[in-house]
């Protein structure tokens, strides 16, 4: 079996992508994290170049025009995307790169690198649990919350295109399942 070098973890906002991604990075220190580019405002404690490459809208649009992104989209008034140069660096070094990425981005990554990409979708146990998780974060207005929930429905409907779907209900079990899928497909 062809071992995967690009692993994308996707979920609706509040679905646990960041927690699962951090776990895999801690468990497998040789894995490189794919840092996305964005035009959204930096949240407290986020570091440029580590959490995201925080870019101006003008710079991001320049990268789009120069075809320097594997995928990009505008979400909630901000751009998000994956820099080709960062993925190419990982491939050149024969490293496994882990992506904390939205559904459309993950599918685009698989389209560009079909033999190298593993897609894992973290599904919420229910809509109610997802709403509770988003409210607990306290980072969204009511309007943003509505937008994220509408987006979640679209993302969940697209999850059937993923290699693995894992229901993120009990965190410890979810971490073990993702870890097992990672070992089976990448190690």
What are the boundaries of each domain within the chain?
Answer: 6-186
User: In terms of DSSP bridges, do strands 78-83 and 69-75 run parallel, antiparallel, or are they unpaired?
Assistant: antiparallel
- Which residues neighbour 50 within 8 Å (Cβ) at sequence distance 6 or greater? 35
Per-residue confidence (pLDDT) for residue 152, from 0 to 100: 87
Per-residue confidence (pLDDT) for residue 133, from 0 to 100: 79
Per-residue confidence (pLDDT) for residue 149, from 0 to 100: 83
Cα separation, 160 vs 169, in Å, equals: 18
Give the Cβ contact number of residue 23 at 10 Å: 19
Per-residue confidence (pLDDT) for residue 1, from 0 to 100: 63
Cα separation, 18 vs 168, in Å, equals: 12
- The 8-class DSSP code of residue 31 comes to P
End-to-end CA distance of the chain: 11
Name residue 82's beta-bridge partners: 71
* Encoded tokens for 167: 């229901």
Per-residue confidence (pLDDT) for residue 158, from 0 to 100: 94
Per-residue confidence (pLDDT) for residue 129, from 0 to 100: 84
Per-residue pLDDT of the chain (187 residues; tens, 9 = 90+): 689 999 999 999 888 899 999 999 999 999 999 998 999 999 999 999 998 999 999 999 999 999 999 999 898 899 999 999 999 889 889 999 999 988 988 999 999 899 999 999 999 988 888 878 777 777 778 888 888 888 888 999 999 999 999 999 999 999 999 999 999 999 8
Q: Kindly state which CATH superfamily the domain 6-186 is placed in.
A: P-loop containing nucleotide triphosphate hydrolases (3.40.50.300)
């Amino acid at each position: 079996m062809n071992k995967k070098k690009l692993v994308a973890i996707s979920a609706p906002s509040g679905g646990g992508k960041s927690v699962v991604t951090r776990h895999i990075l801690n468990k497998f220190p040789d894995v490189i994290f794919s840092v996305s580019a964005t035009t959204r405002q930096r949240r407290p404690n986020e570091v440029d170049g580590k959490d995201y490459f925080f870019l101006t809208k003008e710079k991001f649009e320049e990268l789009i025009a120069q075809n320097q992104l594997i995928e990009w989209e505008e979400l909630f008034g901000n751009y998000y995307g994956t820099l080709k140069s960062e993925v190419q660096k990982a491939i050149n070094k024969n490293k496994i790169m882990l992506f904390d990425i939205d559904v459309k981005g993950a599918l685009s990554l698989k389209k560009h690198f079909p033999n190298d990409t593993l897609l894992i979708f973290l599904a919420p146990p229910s809509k109610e649990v997802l709403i509770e998780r988003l409210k607990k974060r306290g980072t969204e207005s009511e309007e943003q919350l509505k937008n994220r929930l509408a987006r979640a429905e679209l993302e969940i409907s697209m999850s059937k295109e993923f290699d693995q779907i894992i229901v993120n209900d009990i965190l410890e079990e979810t971490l073990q399942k993702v870890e097992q899928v990672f070992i089976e497909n990448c190690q």
